[in-house]
């Protein structure tokens, strides 16, 4: 088998460490299953993206939905990051961490009136509207509060992000955003929306996008809209290109922050306005792992099963997206042979697996296995299915 190694999760004497802390030491206290995050990873990725775009006026809004742990949100807030929130709950988390409301933007295809009210009352930097009916409601709510809501329309640019269909959002067939022609019409109906100030234009074409081309073509499409509006006297201050930057789970060829910047800066520069980014996965996926302990192993009809104490309720990505997560032993034993096995959890569903037909070191009851790249869309999607406890989360600050 091969091992997913990084400077944040690395083997010392065949034993896996997070930063410079032994996982076994953590596991003694935490038990399993447990999520473990490297603080430095979050910081390094943020700085990397931020500095790649230093040439242009920009703000990064960490997408809270990828990992909503308050301590994680605080790491970003402390670095001056803005936050992209998707619900009342995420907005309350952002406020709890103490992020100022002019650094929060609100997304979501189906905001309720109480969510919109909360957003307007808090005078957020931008509310992203995804339908004409939503604009009408935002306007009504802002009117009733005697306020003006800052709004950006989420435009669906109809480009193919070439990712898993469940996480593609920028195609005409997807539920997200407003098509270009309707968006232009709505932007120009200023008199209809007297309690709305149009401050921006927004897109988010999907997640786990591994090439820059879909971003470039979507930004080009939206730039046209941006300039068309400008020619009609509608001057937008913010151009929000959403999140979706792909990461490496399993030898994917992704692009670096530098390559991303190189491809986009020429187009973005022309806009001469402030650019927003909303990365989630890019900042959090490889910051975290889920550690499980082997409960049983068995050979059934010539198939090996490794039954661990983590399940689909802890990490659902393999079950819903067929997502690949590298799984490797916390303690490498070079005397053990490799086998092909399904790594499965205790939940009463055949869809409860973390890996299928995986080449992995033969393990035995009591061994610890690390499920890599689990920092994004891991804990945030955890549930209490089968009345299982949700796993604890540990943030490691081991490099000083
Ligand atoms: C999910 C989401 C993001 C973050 O997506 P990633 O793929 O994790 O970068 C950003 N913006 C919006 C509107 C989203 O829905």
pLDDT at 172: 81
Specify the 3-state DSSP secondary structure of 84: strand
Query: d(Cα 250, Cα 5) in Å, to the nearest integer?
Result: 12
pLDDT at 168: 79
The response to whether residue 377 sits with its C-beta less than 6 Å from ligand 1 reads: no
pLDDT at 308: 98
Instruction: Show the tokens assigned to 58.
Output: 């920009």
Strand duo 34-38 + 393-396: pairing: parallel
Tell me the domain boundaries of the chain: 9-38+285-396, 40-282
pLDDT at 164: 85
pLDDT at 161: 86
Q: Do domains 9-38+285-396 and 40-282 have the same CATH topology?
A: no
Indicate which residue of 173, 231, 302, 348 is catalytic. 348
Residue 280 CA, ligand 1 centroid: distance in Å:
6
pLDDT at 114: 98
pLDDT at 5: 82
pTM: 0.97
| β partners of residue 274 | 238
Q: Is 348 in the active site?
A: yes
Q: How far is CA 209 from the centre of its chain?
A: 12
Sign of CA dihedral 189, 193, 198, 202: negative
If you average pLDDT over residues 103-132, what whole number do you get? 97
Query: d(Cα 186, Cα 154) in Å, to the nearest integer?
Result: 12
Specify burial of residue 94 (Cβ count, 10 A radius: 0-12, 13-18, 19+): buried
pLDDT at 162: 84
State yes or no: pLDDT of 332 exceeds 90: yes
> Tokens 């409960």 appear where?
295
If you average pLDDT over residues 76-84, what whole number do you get? 98
169: nearest Cα among 128, 132, 227, 139: 128
The response to whether residue 280 sits with its C-beta less than 6 Å from ligand 1 reads: yes
pLDDT band of 67, cuts 50, 70, 90: very high
Q: Which fold has domain 40-282?
A: TIM Barrel (3.20.20)
pLDDT at 160: 87
Residue 161 CA, ligand 1 centroid: distance in Å:
13
Q: Which fold has domain 9-38+285-396?
A: Lyase, Ornithine Decarboxylase; Chain A, domain 1 (2.40.37)
State yes or no: pLDDT of 400 exceeds 80: no
282: nearest Cα among 176, 220, 207, 343: 207
Specify burial of residue 322 (Cβ count, 10 A radius: 0-12, 13-18, 19+): exposed
State yes or no: pLDDT of 399 exceeds 90: no
Higher pLDDT, 51 or 158: 51
Residue 263 CA, ligand 1 centroid: distance in Å:
20
State yes or no: pLDDT of 103 exceeds 80: yes
If you average pLDDT over residues 98-113, what whole number do you get? 97
Does an H or E element contain 370, and which? strand 368-371
Residue 62 CA, ligand 1 centroid: distance in Å:
9
Q: Which atom of ligand 1 is nearest to the CA of 245?
A: 9
317: nearest Cα among 287, 357, 352: 352
The response to whether residue 156 sits with its C-beta less than 6 Å from ligand 1 reads: no
The response to whether residue 177 sits with its C-beta less than 6 Å from ligand 1 reads: no
Instruction: Show the tokens assigned to 323.
Output: 């997502």
């Amino acid at each position: 088998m091969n091992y997913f190694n990084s400077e944040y999760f690395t083997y010392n004497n065949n034993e896996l460490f997070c930063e410079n802390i032994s996982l076994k030491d953590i596991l003694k206290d935490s038990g399993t299953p447990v999520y473990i995050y490297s603080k430095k990873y979050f910081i390094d990725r943020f700085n990397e993206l931020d500095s790649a775009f230093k040439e242009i006026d920009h703000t990064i809004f960490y997408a809270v939905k990828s990992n909503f742990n308050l301590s994680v949100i605080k790491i970003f807030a402390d670095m001056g990051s803005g936050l992209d929130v998707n619900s009342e709950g995420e907005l309350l988390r952002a406020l709890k961490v103490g992020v100022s409301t002019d650094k929060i933007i609100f997304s979501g295809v189906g905001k309720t009136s109480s969510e919109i009210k909360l957003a307007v009352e808090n005078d957020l930097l931008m509310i992203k509207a995804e339908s004409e009916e939503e604009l009408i409601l935002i306007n009504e709510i802002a009117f009733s509060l005697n306020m003006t809501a800052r709004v950006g329309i989420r435009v669906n640019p109809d480009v193919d992000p070439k990712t898993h269909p469940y996480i593609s959002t920028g195609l005409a067939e997807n539920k997200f955003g407003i098509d270009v022609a309707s968006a232009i019409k709505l932007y120009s109906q200023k008199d209809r929306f007297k309690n709305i100030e149009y401050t921006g234009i927004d897109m988010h074409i999907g997640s786990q996008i591994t090439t820059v081309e879909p971003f470039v073509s979507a930004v080009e499409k939206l730039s046209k809209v941006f300039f068309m509006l400008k020619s009609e006297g509608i001057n937008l201050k913010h151009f929000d290109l959403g999140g979706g930057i792909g990461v490496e789970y399993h030898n994917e060829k992704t692009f670096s922050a530098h390559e991303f910047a190189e491809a986009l800066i020429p187009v973005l520069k022309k806009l001469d306005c402030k650019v927003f980014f909303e990365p989630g996965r890019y900042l959090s996926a490889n910051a975290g792992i889920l550690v499980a302990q082997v409960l049983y192993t068995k050979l059934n009809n010539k198939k090996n099963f490794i039954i661990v104490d983590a399940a689909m309720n802890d990490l659902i990505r393999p079950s819903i997206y067929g997502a690949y997560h590298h799984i490797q032993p916390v303690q490498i034993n070079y005397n053990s042979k490799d086998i092909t096995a399904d790594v499965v959890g205790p939940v009463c569903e055949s869809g409860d697996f973390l890996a299928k037909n995986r080449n992995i070191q033969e393990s035995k009851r009591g061994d610890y296995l690390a499920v890599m790249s689990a920092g994004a869309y891991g804990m945030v999607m955890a549930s209490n299915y089968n009345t299982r406890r949700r796993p604890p989360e540990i943030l490691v600050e081991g490099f000083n």
